[in-house]
Structure 1
Amino acid sequence: MLPTALIRQVLVSFSLVFLCAHGKEWKKYSYPDPQQDLLECGLDGIPSWICDPDQVLSEEQVSDVHSRLEELNSGTRCLCSSCDASNHGYKVAVAVMDKMSYNGAAEHVDLVANNFARYLRERWFSSGCGDNVLVLVTKETPQVYISAGPAARSKLPDRTVKSIVSSAQAQLASEDFQSAILTVVNGVKSEFEDMDTTVLAIIVAACVLGLLTVILVSVLVCLKLRSMKEDSKPTFFRPDKTRESRKSLAKSETHYDPNTDNVYVSLRENKTAEAVV
């Protein structure tokens, strides 16, 4: 039985011969997937988010880019409504090739390349909430194209994408593809990290505002209680004199004065009984 390493080398060599015979023009439907087509993508059979079937980069460079992509994913937070342990944060993938097939539309290079990048992103990231980005790099006409998912576009609008791509133009012109890819990946990462910092700042501001509100309410309540205590006066209650009034009425007599035609009440005086000797 042939060793696994030898079989792998034969398959890779066969793929290279096949590509050379076809001028290395990739169609979006046939470009390999780094999560499934492990031998073709050039990371020694390890699932990753970078595919370089034409070996534009060296094995060491592919491994370096792979490590950066892993750091970006683990260093950002998941934006989806449901996240599991494998979905740390944003997912960025890189597709590198010599040349893509324009299908007779060479005059519309940018349109074809953007469609190519979007197709690969949607195929490679078939699940999730769109918090993903695909970076497409072509060697024949050194260019970088970025396709961002719906959630990722909140931090990567067209203006930001153009700025990131422009920052890598000098490296592309000198065919330093590894540096160009890392420049783009780092630019994307910085935008995502800024988003995490903004969210954290909002949370901290909300907590501080809540604490200040509690303190203010407590002070107002204390001042109100103090004011009520100072303004309060003692209340005096009069004794019930109903019984005494009844006693007074019991000792009173009603008189009628025919001369004035008035009725008046006079109190009777207690008379002390005299002892008869």
Structure 2
Amino acid sequence: MSASKRFSVVCVLLSLCFSYLLVNCAAEQADNVTEGVTEGVVEAMTKGVTERVGDKFPNPWQYPEQCRRPGTEKSWFCDVDGVLPKEQADSIDSLLVSINANASCVCNCSGNTTLELADDEGYVMGVAVVTSLEEDLSVANRTYHLERFGDAVRQDWFSDRTCDDSALIFTHYMYNCSKIYISLGDAFDSLLPSQSLSSIYAAAQPSLDTGNVGQAITVTIQKLNAAINQAMRPTEPPPPNNLVWGILGVITISSILLFHYWIKY
């Protein structure tokens, strides 16, 4: 092969490598822009719902009677319509009290407390059960209203938190068609991927299908707490960015080809 042809081959290889890197960079930038726009839209919609319904739903520590928790010293459970029998409600509340008393700190670990109920600076978890979302519940929009209502209630309940590290298991009860939504504060965004939440929903679904809402809530609490604790354990450092390795690969290949060309010609 002549020198000019070899040089042409080198140029083509270099062009392909740099083209790949440029496409990779463009794709990453596009993903970041899309994610930012989506978060902005969701934040705007949630804010509107918070103003409309969040302040109308009682919390169990200020209004225990309205939440069907009279005489309870500490409560993180509100069942305004009395869906669950008292024994199940007591069991769920005890589980929440235990979890919140031993919860790990997620953010702002120098003085984060919730009212007079917090025993330490850890995250907080609560449960709310409703039979009505005060909206038209067609099949198409039930999930939408469930999520907006759940986010609004969580933000209202835990508005005093110095960082957004609250979790609310919001349950809409319908006979043999109940649905659970897990509303999480921003502090959990980097801890719990969507796959973790999907597995929690899947674990609770069999109980929902049989109408055992109390068991479904208990499973959700336990699985969510386990997922948070697992996510907070120290992990191995993440692998280096593929883009960095790509650049190093291009430099290495280019150096070898140019050196070979220089030695031969």
Please give the TM-score of this superposition, normalised by the length of structure 2. 0.60
Quote the Cα distance in structure 2 between the aligned partners of 1:170 and 1:146. Answer: 17
Quote the Cα distance in structure 2 between the aligned partners of 1:122 and 1:72. Answer: 20
Q: Which residue of 2 aligns with 1:10?
A: none
Q: Are residue 165 (structure 1) and residue 201 (structure 2) matched?
A: yes
Aligned counterpart in structure 2 of residue 56 of structure 1, from 76, 83, 86 = 83
- Could you tell me how far 1:104 is from its partner in structure 2? 6.9
- Could you tell me how far 1:28 is from its partner in structure 2? 4.8
Aligned counterpart in structure 2 of residue 178 of structure 1, from 204, 209, 214 = 214
Q: Which residue of 2 aligns with 1:91?
A: 124
Please give the TM-score of this superposition, normalised by the length of structure 1. 0.58
Residue by residue over 1:84-114, the C-alpha shift from the partner in whole angstroms, topping out at 9 and shown as x without a partner, is: 6733412111001222221576631111110
Instruction: Give the 3 Å change call, closer, same or farther, for CA 151–116 of structure 1 in structure 2.
Output: same
Q: Between Structure 1 and Structure 2, which shows a larger proportion of helix residues?
A: 2
Q: Return structure 1 stretches of 4+ with deviation > 6 angstroms.
A: none
Q: Are residue 189 (structure 1) and residue 225 (structure 2) matched?
A: yes
Quote the Cα distance in structure 1 between the aligned partners of 2:194 and 2:148. Answer: 15
Q: Which residue of 2 aligns with 1:251?
A: none
Q: Which residue of 2 aligns with 1:216?
A: none
Aligned counterpart in structure 2 of residue 138 of structure 1, from 132, 147, 172 = 172
Quote the Cα distance in structure 2 between the aligned partners of 1:30 and 1:45. Answer: 22
CA contact (8 A) 1:72 1:90 kept: no
Q: Between Structure 1 and Structure 2, which shows a larger proportion of strand residues?
A: 1
Paired residues in the alignment total: 175
Aligned counterpart in structure 2 of residue 155 of structure 1, from 178, 191, 204 = 191
CA contact (8 A) 1:49 1:94 kept: yes
What does residue range 1-277 of structure 1 map to in structure 2 within 5 Å?
A: 28-46=54-72, 47-81=74-108, 82-83=110-111, 86-103=119-136, 107-128=140-161, 129-140=163-174, 141-198=177-234
Q: Which residue of 2 aligns with 1:232?
A: none
CA contact (8 A) 2:205 2:216 kept: yes
Residue by residue over 1:152-190, the C-alpha shift from the partner in whole angstroms, topping out at 9 and shown as x without a partner, is: 232223222122111111100111111100110011111
Residue by residue over 1:29-82, the C-alpha shift from the partner in whole angstroms, topping out at 9 and shown as x without a partner, is: 422211211101112242411100111111111111111111211222222322
Return the structure number with greater relative CO, CA threshold 8 A, min gap 6: 2
- Could you tell me how far 1:142 is from its partner in structure 2? 0.6
CA contact (8 A) 1:34 1:48 kept: yes
Quote the Cα distance in structure 1 between the aligned partners of 2:228 and 2:173. Answer: 27
Q: Which runs of 5+ in 1 are unaligned?
A: 1-26, 203-277
CA contact (8 A) 1:137 1:143 kept: yes
Structure with higher Rg: it is: 1
CA contact (8 A) 1:148 1:156 kept: no
Quote the Cα distance in structure 1 between the aligned partners of 2:234 and 2:89. Answer: 32
| Corresponding residue SS for 1:123 | helix
Identity between Structure 1 and Structure 2 (%): 28
Q: Which runs of 5+ in 2 are unaligned?
A: 1-52, 238-265
| Corresponding residue SS for 2:106 | coil
Quote the Cα distance in structure 1 between the aligned partners of 2:193 and 2:216. Answer: 20
